[in-house]
Chains A and B, each alone.
Chain A
């Protein structure tokens, strides 16, 4: 297991609905750094992030994790990947605790009840672990999704507009979370309409423009 992972995008192109979104994208992200994907609405930011996760097919070009194409290392890449998209991935009829334990299990890790409680407390959700998700507010649901991030052992975080529906305190919590993740040698790829500083880490900028 390499101690210093890298993410490389090589000549990545994407077409959607007949329109060329972006072409020949090249980029390298080192451990401890984060990538800020910028661009107007509809320029292909979500498509790029979904390609990084392997959810969308890569039309041409390659994505490399530790210099190996992700197509050649499905399972181990997913072990190292945590994705937070527009949806929270929370089952409304289940409690916060049950949801966290399930998503943790999906990632291959058994979650101890105590650990779940301490993480929830960190995100201002103390005492809510047994509450059903449908009784939480939008912002609180988002914070549960953040707890999922905090509990994940993944080294690459792919976050699609994570600051949406968050209050100031939540935004600060998330930035601190990402900063500590980067401090530990992790990587992050982020899109956002708000330019939020992440601790002392400067952003590596990837600007998407229609060709």
Chain B
């Protein structure tokens, strides 16, 4: 029975996590590729043409999953940050730093696809839709996190300062989202969404597959990035000198 207990704390040392991540990421990358192909195939060939929005709506299969992932990654990043502050582990801060660029990328992707969706609908490249505006603010939060981390020289202090920022941001995300929604409804703003159309089940399946595909991609890329961060931070230790030799 004792052998079945996984000692999670063993993996909290950068050295063991480096090798664990090295084994795991190819699997996630493979899963991501497969799901991405399936998802895109469904979105472009299987899902029916929408009655109101025509072919243009298909961008929803990238826009909505990207939007959700950017939000989810922020929360995961904040969770790692919280762990790092509570338990004072080096690895948690590294994971948060590894996730940030990917989260920012998804936020940016969501904004670009939102613009591409909005153009045929509203004739303009940008509309102040509640979700687009909230995602824009989320992108600012990501950029702020990365900027703060980059401007502090000492890596430990950088990790801990950006961790506090991530947690403060995470608490504020629901407040910001609510206030932007309030602002949007009061000002009778434009909306980039599927309002007024019912979602066929194939559409939902397609979106779900894309969400999982993005998720796998995010994990894979975060694992690769954290390995690089580990090598960089621990470069003075023996095992790193051995690993890169």
Contacts and interface: CB of A to CB of B under 8 A. Distances in A.
Q: In their complex, do chains A and B touch, with some C-beta pair under 8 Å?
A: yes
A109 to B, nearest CB: 32
B154 interface: yes
A130 interface: no
Contacts of A17: 154
B242 interface: no
Interface string B207-245: 000000000000000000000000000011000000000
Interface string A12-25: 00000111000000
B68 to A, nearest CB: 37
A57 B88 contact: yes
A19 B154 CA distance: 13
| Range for the number of chain B residues in contact with chain A | under 10
Interface string A137-164: 0000000000000000000000000000
Contacts of A19: 236
A18 B88 contact: no
Interface in B72-116: 88
Interface residues of A, number: 4
Contacts of B154: 17
Nearest to B237: A18
Interface in A70-101: none
Contacts of A18: 235-236
Nearest to A59: B88
Contacts of A57: 88
A17 B236 CA distance: 10
B19 to A, nearest CB: 21
Nearest to A19: B236
A17 B235 CA distance: 11
Interface in B151-199: 154
Contacts of B88: 57
Nearest to B234: A18
Interface in A54-79: 57
A116 B13 CA distance: 53
A57 B159 CA distance: 14
Contacts of B235: 18
A15 to B, nearest CB: 9
A18 B154 CA distance: 10
Nearest to B236: A18
Contacts of B236: 18-19
A12 B236 CA distance: 22
A17 B158 CA distance: 13
Interface in B37-93: 88
A18 B235 CA distance: 9
Nearest to B154: A17
Interface string B133-156: 000000000000000000000100
A57 B88 CA distance: 10
Interface in A1-38: 17-19
A57 B89 CA distance: 13
A23 B56 CA distance: 65
A101 B189 CA distance: 57
A89 to B, nearest CB: 22
A46 B102 CA distance: 39
A63 to B, nearest CB: 16
- Which 3 pairs, one residue from A and one from B, show the smallest C-beta to C-beta distance? A18-B236, A57-B88, A17-B154
5 contacts: A17-B154, A18-B235, A18-B236, A19-B236, A57-B88
